[in-house]
Structure 1
Amino acid sequence: MEYLRWKVEDAVAIVTIQRPPANALSRGLIIEINELLDAVENDDTVRVIVLHGEGRFFSAGADIKEFTEVASGAEFSELASSGQQVFERLETFPKPVIAAIHGAALGGGLELAMGCHMRFVSEDAKLGLPELQLGLIPGFAGTQRLPRYVGVAKAAEMLFTSEPITGVEAVQWGLANKAYPVDELLPKTLEIAKKIALKSPIALKTAIQMLQYNKSESFHEGVKAEAQSFGTVFESEDAKEGIQAFIEKRQPSFKGK
């Protein structure tokens, strides 16, 4: 694989995202995540997956420059839908998937982490959905998963302000399980993962299936609506301005068109 590398220790697959400098989510990376799941799903030597990022970040968001290559809102909606399917597969995967988040998990990076069953963070990590800063909305089910973890009011605050929260705040808000000093994050996460790997695979698989019953029909309807809206908003003049401003590293000037 080009963007992922992985190894197995004590029945734990340690998966590293390596797409410098920011481990930005691209179509290719999302495809590789799906291929990784194909590889480990029926591998009896793997009982738990730990996902983390190489370098300074977990994943600082989607590849914005790749957005400029998208020709239409319909194509943008399809991009969102394909990403949603992979992250939904993560959440329903029959083996526990744990995210170890340091540096930043922003935009698509946080949406990837929210698709995992558990999230451990460094105390100084930054977690957020800054898409509105670009004149866009989250497209990988972020508008639907975030309120399930932090509640509607906190989700609205994160979405509307585009301001990230710290790893400590993420634990306080219910978005993450535990926060550690950055140098302890991966060792502590692996320690927990290896304890989980000692559990019955049948029981773990069944527990994951049972957790899915907390999803309402409105969640699935919302995910579909998000993908469609992702494309609709992409076609606005504000979105074009926001993306261009991001690339040019300046503040956007939105006109409401």
Structure 2
Amino acid sequence: MKPIDTIALALGLLAATTPTLRAQTNSPAWNNKQCAVVLTYDDAIDVDLDNVVPALDSLKFRGTFYIIGSSPVVTKRLSEWRAAARRGHELGNHALFHPCDGSLPGRGFVTPDHDLSKYTVGRAVDEIRANNTLLAAIDGKTARTFAYPCGDLQIGGVKFYDQLKNDFVAARGVAPALKPAAQVDLSNVDAYSINGQSGQYLIDLVKQAQASHTLLVFLFHGVGGGHSLNVALPAHRQLLRYLKAHEKDIWVAPLVEVAEKIKAEQAGGAAKK
């Protein structure tokens, strides 16, 4: 065989096998794409509606907004939250009053009325369920996810979410990690908290998720201001543009939808054992 024929044969074999290899690296859990990216925004603040929702809508992306029911931004802008939900954004539960454990270091901002360390498990559960009722009145939905205020999981050593597992599809935490679907803990989904990082840093995280075929959850607060934890508008815009340019390989969806896929994958894996 001539050298040119050998090269042609090799190229032909590569072309024939590439779709198969690509299919093997994509995951049903990630909607048959390389990875899943979830954009979450905490605390129901004005910039969510002023900056984030328009940015996501312009690129036809949908995010998860974790709502504190008592936030004045919920009261004053109820119709806008309802409209965002109609366009496919998830209104997640961030508790009625966002209680955090005031006994921990650096928690001087915690008020006595909403100090989680002074709560009973029953009170925490009741307030979270009351917030679910409020959110259902806004968006008419029953399936949603929860986000632990301040990432606090326990009251007096008891994991309060254990009583809420039937109320939610999943709960988002604050520990940063990239995991395949089989390893995702739906009672404490890992997330990368963003505060001041560059757009390139955000994109590099996405590239890591693509290479490892894992779930990447971003945790934002302020976007272009509005919170002490903040990401600049250009950095956020740079991330969204990268996601849009690579949407054939990256599944961008609200956490409730991604968690449903993960749950199905984990159930299927357990059934095979």
What TM-score do you get using the length of structure 1 for normalisation?
A: 0.32
- Report 1 or 2 for greater relative contact order, CA contacts < 8 Å, sequence distance ≥ 6: 2
Q: Greater CA radius of gyration, 1 or 2?
A: 2
